[in-house]
Amino acid sequence: TCSKSDCPKMSNTERTFIAVKPDGVHRGLVGKIIARFEERGFKLVALKQLTASKAHLEVHYQDLKDKPFFPSLIEYMSSGPIVAMVWQGLDVVKQGRVMLGATNPLASAPGTIRGDFAIQTGRNICHGSDAVDSANREIAHWFKQEEINDYASPFINSWVYE
Ligand code: UDP
Ligand code: MG
């Protein structure tokens, strides 16, 4: 713990990997998705647009490689640009998942990203890490260390956190 106003509490340094999938980019939902995380009070520490290779996505989704939908998932995710982001804040991994909604958008509550903007699982517009361990693995897979901006935000430290 640190008393300086620009020094975040250790618990506020959790990070998660959030991505707008190709359908979200094509549908012009990038800004809306970013806005929800910004408005919640989380801190954006990395962002880039890229079209991911199948090999890169096969590693990202390595835990799903035996699933029947794996080939179509890799096809979908490599079909166009993705907006890849790292968001930081207290409990951001779990809160990010809540904000995304359920994997199947028809099971997602209105007010969640998928519940407001998507209908089918194979076009669910966004990705979010499901645990702190997978978040760390995914962040290292998508971003170089120098692409992540470790900056102080005194406003967030004082006015988002008590
Ligand atoms: N997916 C799919 N069919 C399924 C389950 C998942 O096409 O039956 C896709 C969907 O795009 C999902 C992704 O595979 O977001 C990864 O699946 P996971 O179970 O990890 O869901 P998530 O963590 O994205 O909610
Ligand atoms: Mg997942």
pLDDT in tens, 95-129: 999 999 999 999 999 999 999 999 999 999 999 99
Name the token pair of 59: 């590693």
By alpha-carbon position, which residue is closest to atom 18 of ligand 1? 103
Say how many residues make up the chain. Answer: 162
Name the token pair of 3: 């008393």
pTM (2 d.p.): 0.95
Active-site residue flag, 26: no
Residue 9: pLDDT band (50, 70, 90) is confident
User: Within 10 A of 155 (CB to CB), how many other CB atoms are there?
Assistant: 12
Task: State the Cα–Cα distance between residues 32 and 118, nearest whole angstrom.
Answer: 13
Known binding-site residues for ATP equal: 21, 69, 97, 103, 114, 124
Number of C-alpha atoms within 13 angstroms, CB side, residue 160? 19
ipTM over 0.95: yes
Residue 6: pLDDT band (50, 70, 90) is low
